[in-house]
Structure 1
């Protein structure tokens, strides 16, 4: 049996995970899964994709989000689909927001339960 990525949103993992797990930023993934294994520096990457080194350094430090512009450049460089980095950033932003407004979300009654 296989699962689709979108099916994971509907599975309750509360018995094996808690909300205290640290969110992994797209910058951490860029560093740990791409730059470090390939021996690339922020400087080398920035030159290869045509952006300022500060942009890459801030992404790696978690101080800057990956914009559509940067995401497309990263995808092109690493040979990934156009939506990879943009989707990763969107998933991170949604998870972060979900934690920040968890109590508000819990008070919202879904339309399907009202009707």
Structure 2
């Protein structure tokens, strides 16, 4: 079985678990930046910051998970690494969604979809 690249954005891997039944924690954009881009390319935070015209502190905070990716930073990173605009923002949104899903799981379980609420109201 193979997955077409066009279908990747439609797939939900949120139920992927590791041995012991624990979910794989979401990867932060900062971790992705460090592990998949900076380290393999031999770039320092300072060098990246200088190349894209932002304070080095911004890159450090993103990597440390204390700051998210803004539209400004996304456009600069995408241009520098040759990615399509919005790539880093989508990664940030996916990360925040997974964090929120975990934090809100009990509250979300109590929310009924509108179709269920409307159906129940129509039959009452």
TM-score range normalised by the length of the shorter chain? 0.7 to 0.9
The equivalent of 1:13 in structure 2 is: 15
What TM-score comes out, normalization by structure 1 length? Answer: 0.88
Q: Is the partner of 1:56 in helix, strand or coil?
A: helix
Q: Is the partner of 1:63 in helix, strand or coil?
A: coil
Cα deviation per residue 1:22-63 (whole Å; 9 max; x = unaligned)?
A: 221100000000000000000000000000000000001111
| Structure 1 residue 99 corresponds to structure 2 residue 68 | no
Runs of 5+ unmatched residues, structure 2: 120-124
Which is higher, the Rg of structure 1 or of structure 2? 2
Runs of 5+ unmatched residues, structure 1: none
- Equivalenced residue count is 113
Root-mean-square deviation (Å): 1.9
The equivalent of 1:60 in structure 2 is: 63
Q: Return the offset for 1:20.
A: 4.2
The equivalent of 1:87 in structure 2 is: 90
Q: Return the alpha-carbon distance in structure 1 between the equivalents of residues 9 and 43 of structure 2.
A: 32
